[in-house]
DNA sequence: GCGAAACTTAAATAAAACTTAAGAAAAATT
DNA sequence: AATTTTTCTTAAGTTTTATTTAAGTTTCGC
């Protein structure tokens, strides 16, 4: 799990980095508002630990920025300021948690676990045509609820078909979807893959339109 | 929004009830473990504020009960005990937040807003798939109740798999979870770690989807 | 029935994953 | 601080599986 630590005190930062890594996080560290903003461009950051007292700006701005652009990126605020107004402000701006210095690392870790647990929820993108269901995120396919195992190319081909239910696609079009641009295919791969797919699904599931192409689903 | 306040000090309770209602919550109040448990039968309770020091039992038991029966009911713990161990314990059991007495009501309200804002379900810090159980807080793993000792990297890899039960993850995705940003991995570490994990669990526990990735659990 | 297009099959080729083992790095112990 | 132990990374060799190819066969529309 990738975590961004925004902390200007180098001593504190160093110690925290080490112990966070020990906890299993991949830690990136910035000590300025500017570099923090840059790191936040990176979509793979999944968790932020944010110190509010920074030299070149206010941490609250970072928080605002995060909540504007990446609503559900969890942020744990860390600060020396202990006033209640600060806390309330931080939480209302969308921080998920708040910790006043000095704090025990164990408590930070516990709070981070809570925050990341919240994160582990999946969004499913499923395609369905007849009894055939595909979850493109999980790379799973099922026919009449029974899981079907498909090699990569077959999976991609089926996906291309399902995504265009009812629309006929030529072999050429399908080829373009399965292969890189430069990658010439000098044979009948699509036909072969179609053949393999047909063995795993009802015979008439993938229809042929001679001279035109292939379709799946209603027409 | 229906909120259950579990608090034995009648003076505190009375004040809190009033101000929580002022905040717009419908507040139910219990001052004992027993009555709290009864209230929790009611599905309409959407939020719990829980004082840990109760006369006829331990508030932690209520928390355990809640997390067992209603995983995603948010709980904010309230207590005079200020020790960090208590905090960690509460959070690891699935509490969503923690507040030490004395506290400013404004902070409690802010934290409640945070808690109710998340409709996403949280779980406790243990993951389980088949006979394999992991306590991410304690860093322990067991197979058929027998403890299994895993080095850090193997632990993290297994954790990544368990957290995504039923979802296939590519080697690249797994790598991203185990390694720092800049840290290029110029080899087949994931394969090697998978190999080692497989020696410690049933052969088919971690499934390979050639060209796609690895999964654990149902499919 | 003829020719083009699609289907089937099997072998050859290529790609991915598994297994080892050894050396490097990190952690624990003295 | 030095030594020992454990864990991690690399890389090469091996096995397994996927993909492409190509040749033979069938099907379809004219």
Domains of chain B and CATH, by start: 2-117 (3.40.50.2300), 126-216 (1.10.10.10)
Residue A217 in tokens: 């689903």
Distance B215 CA to D16 C1' (A): 19
Percent of chain B whose pLDDT exceeds 90: 21
Residue B129 in tokens: 């798939």
* Cβ–Cβ < 8 Å for B47, B114: no
Residue B159 to residue A45: CA distance in whole angstroms: 18
Residue A27 near chain B (CB below 8 Å): yes
Q: Is the pLDDT of residue A219 over 90?
A: no
Residue A81 to residue A71: CA distance in whole angstroms: 25
Name the more confident of A212 and A182.
A212
* Cβ–Cβ < 8 Å for B48, B78: no
* Cβ–Cβ < 8 Å for A12, A56: no
Q: Distances in Å between the alpha carbon of A177 and those of A169, A187, A218, B90, B138? A: 11, 16, 22, 51, 47
Residue B167 near chain A (CB below 8 Å): yes
Name the closest residue on chain A to residue B157, using Cα atoms.
A24
Quote the pLDDT of residue B56. 63
Quote the pLDDT of residue B200. 94
Contacts of A117 in chain B (CB under 8 A): 122-123, 125
Residue A205 near chain B (CB below 8 Å): no
A113 contacts: CB under 8 Å, gap ≥ 6: B91, B92, B125, B136, B137
Name the closest residue on chain B to residue A75, using Cα atoms.
B114
Name the more confident of A40 and A219.
A40
Confidence of residue A199 (pLDDT cuts 50, 70, 90): very high
Residue B180 near chain A (CB below 8 Å): yes
C-beta pairs of B18-24 under 8 Å, 24+ apart in sequence: B19/B105, B19/B109, B20/B49, B20/B109, B23/B109, B23/B112
Quote the pLDDT of residue B119. 35
Quote the pLDDT of residue B120. 29
Residue B126 in tokens: 């243990």
pLDDT along chain B (219 residues), means of 10: 82 78 72 81 77 71 83 81 62 76 77 62 63 82 92 90 88 80 75 96 92 86
Q: A35-49, A76-90, A129-143, A157-171: which range is least confident on average?
A: A76-90
Sheet holding A97-100, edge to edge: A26-30, A2-6, A47-51, A75-79, A97-100
Is residue B148 helix, strand or coil? strand
Q: CB distance B125–A138 less than 8 Å? A: no
* Cβ–Cβ < 8 Å for B93, B65: no
Distance A68 CA to D4 C1' (A): 53
Residues A14-66 have pLDDT tens digits of 878 777 776 667 788 888 888 888 888 877 788 899 888 666 667 788 888 88
* C-alpha of A162 from chain center: 23
Name the closest residue on chain B to residue A146, using Cα atoms.
B219
Q: Is the pLDDT of residue A122 over 50?
A: no
Q: CB distance A138–B166 less than 8 Å? A: yes
Mean pLDDT of chain A: 81
């Amino acid at each position: 799990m990738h975590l961004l630590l925004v902390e200007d005190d180098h001593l504190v930062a160093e110690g925290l980095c080490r112990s966070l890594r020990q906890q299993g996080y991949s830690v990136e560290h910035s000590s300025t508002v500017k570099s923090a903003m840059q790191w936040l461009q990176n979509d793979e950051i999944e968790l932020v630990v944010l110190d509010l007292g920074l030299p070149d700006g206010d941490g609250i701005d970072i928080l605002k920025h995060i909540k504007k652009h990446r609503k559900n990126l969890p942020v744990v605020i860390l600060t020396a300021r202990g006033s209640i107004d600060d806390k309330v402000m931080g939480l209302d701006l969308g921080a998920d948690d708040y910790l006043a210095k000095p704090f025990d690392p164990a408590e930070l870790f516990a709070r981070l676990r809570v925050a990341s647990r919240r994160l582990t929820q999946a969004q499913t993108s499923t395609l369905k045509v007849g009894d055939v269901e595909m979850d493109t995120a999980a790379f799973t396919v099922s026919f009449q609820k029974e899981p079907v195992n498909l090699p990569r190319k077959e999976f991609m081909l089926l996906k291309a078909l399902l995504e265009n239910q009812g629309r006929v696609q030529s072999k050429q079009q399908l080829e373009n979807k399965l292969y890189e641009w430069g990658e010439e295919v000098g044979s009948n791969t699509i036909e072969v893959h179609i053949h393999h797919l047909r063995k795993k699904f009802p015979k008439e599931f993938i229809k042929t339109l001679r001279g035109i192409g292939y379709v799946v689903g209603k027409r």
